[in-house]
Amino acid sequence: MHRYEPAEIEPKWQRYWEEKGFFKTPQYSEKPKYYMLVMFPYPSGTLHVGHVKNYVIGDAVARYKRMRGYNVLHPFGYDAFGLPAENAAIEKKIHPRDWTMANINTIRRQIKRLGISYDWDREIITCNEDYYKWTQWIFLKLYEAGLAYKKMAPVNWCPKCMTSLANEQVKDGACERCGTPVTVRHLEQWFFKITNYAERLLKDLDKLTGWPEHVKTMQRNWIGQSEGAKVAFKVDGLDLEIEVFTTRPDTIWGVTFMALAPESPLVEKIILPELREELDKFLVRIMSQDRFKRGAVEAEKEGFFTGRYAINPVNGEKVPIYVANYVLMEYGTGAVMGVPAHDQRDYDFAKKYGIPIRQVIKPAHEISLDKAYDGPGVMINSGELTGTVVPDEMEKVFRWLEEKGIGKKTVQYKLRDWLISRQRYWGAPIPIVYCEKCGMVPVPEKDLPVRLPYNVEFLPTGQSPLMLSEEFKSTTCPKCGGPALRDADTMDTFVDSSWYFLRYVNPKLEDKPFLKEDVDYWLPVDQYVGGVEHAILHLLYSRFITKVLYDLGYISFDEPFTNLFTQGMIYKDGFKMSKSKGNVVSPDEMIEKYGADTLRLYILFMGPPEKDAEWSDAGIEGVYRFIKRSWNVISEIISLEETGTQEYSEREKQLLRKLHSMLKKITEDMEGGFKFNTAISGLMELINAISDYMSEVPREKWNTKLLKECAEKFLLMISPFAPHFAEELWHMMGKKESIMLENWPQYDENALKVEEIEIAVQVNGKVRDKIKVPANADEELVKQLALSSERVRKFLNGEPKKIVYVKGRLLSITC
């Protein structure tokens, strides 16, 4: 018998699978399709076991689905553009492309060593021309549809990375990548009009029944729908109006001040000239505050009185207009009506600046006046609307405002348009040129790709290195042929990843990004697996681009991912793995020590895969012992002559039952959604049952036919998790074809049935009942069943004094 030598068998089977083309997916097949997608990695270094978890989960599903008769599409690629490559170029003096390609080669080799069943012919690298050409095509389609536009915009600016950042790349006011506090800059930027899709992106979440609830909640909160009204207040003495967005128009009689965002263009227009200088000082101070924190309820309120008053349209009252730090330019209209009695931020502001507080909503109970009341109640001191019950009768309030021409009901979203311009080199160039004569001109599709030049200077100047590249910048106008300049910005990498799942379907297609009939066949993705860190943006952007392509008629589905699974992280020593913490576990090291199959099994066995889990060396050792023991048990069974009778003994039936109950359990774990850890426990239980049988029953009495059946089914069931191990033993069994071509084993309900025997139950010496119990029932169970029999209970007076069990025949109760 050979020893278990993963270092020998794993590369052998990896070569075999590749030569046989078992991972390749035919474009069409008689079988039903199954698109199994894992989130592709950002190639910023080598993989650690935390990354690997994603791919191991995906592979277990892909291999299982193949065994269930599906034509499985299981592709892989790299999200290869982005900042880290460029930062590495500056720090290490390596070209971003060379750095990225070296990382890709490492990752590919790491993944191949794991035996993950990717169709490598479909590999995608987003920084290659044949991919980013189509990212540019997507830009053009949005541009043509009026969904890409340019505007001057304040952007989050990281002074260290020297680039603009999307809101989502700012964490607690600091750059997500380097932790430097973010400042504000004004630049001409490209935006995608995702806000046009806010309502659909929100509503269609209800269709996504295969998504985790927490992810949908995060998306809902990000989109942030609020119902309210827009109301205009005239500025006293000026021909100007301040429009506000309010969710509480029922409090309008309680307005005692107005507040503008410091960035509001209105500030300029209404400030009294004599206050201007002082205002500027105030603005400079506020602008340096964290734009994300200053709106928080807890944040210190700061304001500046403009010297002007607004007129409340419901009662003609004049109220002072302030500039206030807690009003954000990005939301609503960038102005609020201040109602201190019913909004806590307004309350704090009013207290600080001595502004009156006027209650206009009366709750059922008495309230204290030392904080704002924002609960339900009856409108008071509110003119014609006095007595209205809110929020129940809020519709009446909206109607009244609309009839009087004071306000208009609207829906407001927190979602902002998607800022896609990056002042960086390592991204897909924006396919736009600027001509002196014709102005802004899109690059025609036939001229794509707009190529990224290789030779540029990587100086952190705050401008794109492409600005300094003559080779790149100067071009001719596609319209008039005159001299023109290219847009020097590149696209956010989230654009690259917002459509890659479409490209996998026909990754080598030259004249189109994808074929409609093919993507309509393969998509939506049946199962998407990835980290919860992408729960908001990547998924939202992918859903947006899918809806745009649907509206433009390029595809026939409007949601890209039917089922989503978010895996938990692997921690080491209580922390997220990171190079800087020095707590990274490398898959290569683990493969050298234990083999890929043990690593794969251990990752899946660590706990429910959606939960975070802590890496444990003892844990992987335990799984290694299990796999070696399984190896020994199964290779011993393989070496036996096949003998065995048709009639099973009770002991054999017991083993057969265990086999079928595990077949049933493991199948349910696989079908019931990612319960790999309990499926693997089931496999452990099965191996234990097999080896118990082999040690309890004398060798010459072994039913080897039964043992071989157990071994075969065990290998089939472990093959999605430990494929090399299963393939090796499968061939040792004398099978000619790969285990990859086998079907998932079925269980037999009949084999699960436990035989029953009859037990006589005596009470004080007389037989009172005969009960049926499972043949293998122990004394405890027989007692329980006997004592729950009505007929027996009738004859019991009080607690039984003594119970005697004669195994398999009789239970005698004395009371």
Binding-site residue numbers for ATP are: 579
- CA neighbor of 53 nearest in space, from 724, 560, 677, 777: 677
Which letter, b or e, does each residue of 496-510 get, where b requires 16 or more Cβ atoms within 10 Å of its Cβ? bbbbbbbbbbbbeee
542 binds ligand ANZ (CB under 6 A): no
Among 111, 327, 385, 634, binds ligand ANZ (CB under 6 A): 327
- Tell me which residues in 373-392 interact with ligand ANZ (CB under 6 A): 374
Q: Which of 700, 513, 698, 543 is nearest to 203 (CA)?
A: 543
Question: Widest CA span of the chain, in angstroms?
Answer: 114
Fill in the per-residue mask, 224 to 243: x = in contact with ligand ANZ (CB under 6 A), - = not in contact.
--x-----------------
- Which partner from the list Zn ion, ligand ANZ, none does 295 bind, CB cut-off 5 to 8 Å by kind? ligand ANZ
Please give the Cα distance from 100 to 45 (Å, whole number): 8
328 in contact with ligand ANZ (CB under 6 A):
yes
Tell me which residues touch Zn ion (CB under 5 A): 435, 437-438, 477, 479-480, 482
Q: Hey, CA dihedral for 424, 429, 430, 435, is it positive or negative?
A: positive
| CB nearer ligand ANZ, residue 317 or residue 636 | 317
Beta bridge partner(s), residue 318: 311
Which of 332, 377, 407, 524 contacts ligand ANZ by CB under 6 A? Answer: 332
Amino acid identity of 812? S
Min dist CB 275 to ligand ANZ, Å, is 22
Least Cβ distance, residue 150 to Zn ion (angstroms):
17
Least separation in angstroms between CB 466 and Zn ion: 20
CB of 437 to Zn ion, least distance (A): 4
What are the binding residues?
579
Among candidates 117, 25, 63, which has minimal Cα distance to 715?
63
CB of 214 to ligand ANZ, least distance (A): 21
CA distance to 371, 392, 410, per residue, from 382 (Å): 21, 16, 22
Please say which residue, 474 or 639, places its beta carbon nearer to Zn ion.
474
479 binding partner (options ligand ANZ, Zn ion, none; Cβ < 5 to 8 Å by kind) = Zn ion
CB atoms within 10 A of CB 36: 27
Q: Which residues, including other chains, have CB under 8 Å from residue 416's CB and lie 6 or more apart?
A: 167, 195, 330
Shortest distance, CB of residue 223 to Zn ion, whole angstroms? 40
How many residues of this chain interact with ligand ANZ, rule: CB under 6 A? 21
Instruction: Choose from ligand ANZ, Zn ion, none: what does 409 bind? Cβ within 5-8 Å by kind.
Output: none
Contact between 367 and ligand ANZ per CB under 6 A:
no
Which residues are within 8 A (CB) of 160 and not within 5 positions of it... i.e. 6 or more apart? Answer: 175, 178, 180
* 303 interacts with ligand ANZ by CB under 6 A: no
Pair type for strands 257-260 and 225-235: unpaired
Asked if 762 touches ligand ANZ (CB under 6 A), the answer is no
Closer to ligand ANZ by CB, 339 or 430: give it.
Answer: 339
Say how far residue 693 (Cα) sits from the centre of its chain: 45
Least distance in angstroms from the C-beta of 6 to ligand ANZ = 56
437 binds, among Zn ion, ligand ANZ, none (CB under 5 to 8 A by kind): Zn ion
Minimum distance between the CB of residue 426 and ligand ANZ, rounded to whole angstroms? 35
User: For ligand ANZ, which is the closer residue by CB, 336 or 601?
Assistant: 336
Which listed residue (337, 390, 620, 715) binds ligand ANZ by CB under 6 A? 337
Q: How far is CA 179 from the centre of its chain?
A: 23
310 binds, among Zn ion, ligand ANZ, none (CB under 5 to 8 A by kind): none
Piece of 338-346, 415-423, 428-436, 666-674 that binds ligand ANZ (CB under 6 A): 338-346
Smallest separation (angstroms) from ligand ANZ to the CB of 364 = 17
Instruction: Name the binder of 477 from Zn ion, ligand ANZ, none, CB < 5-8 A by kind.
Output: Zn ion
Phi, psi of 768, deg, nearest 5:
-110, -20
Tokens of 691: 């080896």
Q: Quick one: residue 246, left, alpha or beta (phi over 0 = left, psi -120 to 50 = alpha)?
A: beta
Query: To the nearest whole angstrom, how small is the minimum distance from the Cβ of residue 338 to ligand ANZ?
Result: 7
Looking at beta carbons only, is 115 or 249 nearer to ligand ANZ?
249
| Closest CB 347 distance from ligand ANZ, rounded Å | 9
Only segment of 324-332, 403-411, 475-483, 717-725 that touches ligand ANZ (CB under 6 A) = 324-332
Choose the one of Zn ion, ligand ANZ, none that binds residue 416, judging by a C-beta under 5 to 8 angstroms depending on kind.
Answer: none
**Of these partners, ligand ANZ, Zn ion, none, which one is at the site of residue 331 (CB under 5 to 8 Å by kind)?**
ligand ANZ
Binding-site partner at residue 251 among ligand ANZ, Zn ion, none, CB < 5 to 8 Å by type: ligand ANZ
* 334 scored as a contact of ligand ANZ (CB under 6 A): yes
Residue the block writes with tokens 């910005």: 489
Kindly state the helix (H) or strand (E) to which residue 216 belongs, with its residue range.
helix 213-223
Q: Measured from the CB of residue 585, what is the shortest distance to ligand ANZ in angstroms?
A: 43
Q: Which stretch binds ligand ANZ (CB under 6 A): 30-38, 332-340, 538-546, 686-694?
A: 332-340
Q: Mind giving me the DSSP string for 545-598?
A: HHHHHHHTTS-S-S-SBSBEEEEPPEEETTEE--TTTT-PPPHHHHHHHH-HHH
Identify what 566 binds: ligand ANZ, Zn ion, none; CB under 5 to 8 Å per kind.
Answer: none
d(CA 166, CA 156): 7
Q: Compute the least distance from the CB of residue 469 to Zn ion, in Å.
A: 21
Choose, by CB under 6 A, the member of 49, 161, 194, 339 that binds ligand ANZ. Answer: 339
Cα–Cα distance for residue pair 314/299, rounded to 1 Å:
31
Q: Which of 77, 295, 303, 313 binds ligand ANZ (CB under 6 A)?
A: 295
Helix axes 704-718, 650-671, angle to 10 degrees: 10
Binding to ligand ANZ by residue 331, rule CB under 6 A?
Answer: yes
Assigned token pair, 619: 């844990």
Determine if 291 is a binding residue for ligand ANZ (CB under 6 A): no
The verdict on 247 binding ligand ANZ (CB under 6 A) reads: yes
CA torsion, ordered 199, 200, 203, 209, to nearest 10 deg: -150
Write a three-state SS string for 478-508: CCCCCEEEECCCEECHHHHCCCHHHHCCCCC
Regarding 251 and contact with ligand ANZ (CB under 6 A), the answer is: yes
Q: How far apart are CA 182 and CA 173, in angstroms?
A: 6
Place of tokens 């599903």: 61
Residue 377: its H or E element: strand 377-379
Does position 412 bind ligand ANZ by CB under 6 A? yes
The contacts of residue 580 (CB under 8 Å, 6+ apart) are none
Instruction: Look at residue 435 and give the partner it binds from Zn ion, ligand ANZ, none, a contact being a CB closer than 5 to 8 Å depending on partner kind.
Output: Zn ion
Contact 287, 167 (CB under 8 A): no
In this chain, which of 87, 246, 493, 719 binds ligand ANZ, going by CB under 6 A? 246
* Interacting residues with ligand ANZ (CB under 6 A): 226, 245-248, 251, 261, 295, 326-328, 331-332, 334, 336-337, 339, 342-343, 374, 412
